[in-house]
Amino acid sequence: MDANIERFLDENHKIKIWPAKNQFKIAVLVYLSEKFETGVFYSEKEVNEIIKRWHTFEDFFLLRRGLIDMQFLKRASDGSKYWKNDSKISNI
């Protein structure tokens, strides 16, 4: 785990605060993206459930949008499936 994000996690390693600085937002999104498996397709509902399990401030929309915008998760154009983008994560 990135030591830079520990202050944004609670004792259960769930995201408790959305960082203000972009570099920390990216680090938190990398951490969250690690909760998804490579080669697995997820429905939007499954993505939301995984995100809900790993944060405490009840804004999975913000985190899902961040994962998509930063390309840590890819999404089919019709929104029917999501998958982890390992090539993006390995470049961080």
Q: Closest Cα partner for 54 from 24, 10, 91, 21?
A: 10
- Which residues lie closer than 8 Å to 18 by C-beta, 6 or more apart? 8, 25, 28, 57, 59, 62, 63
CA angle at 58 for the pair 52 and 61, rounded to the nearest 5°: 75
CATH numbers and ranges of domains, the chain: 3-87 (1.10.10)
pTM: 0.91
pLDDT at 84 over 90: yes
Give tens-digit pLDDT for 27-73.
999 999 999 999 999 999 999 999 999 999 999 999 999 999 999 99
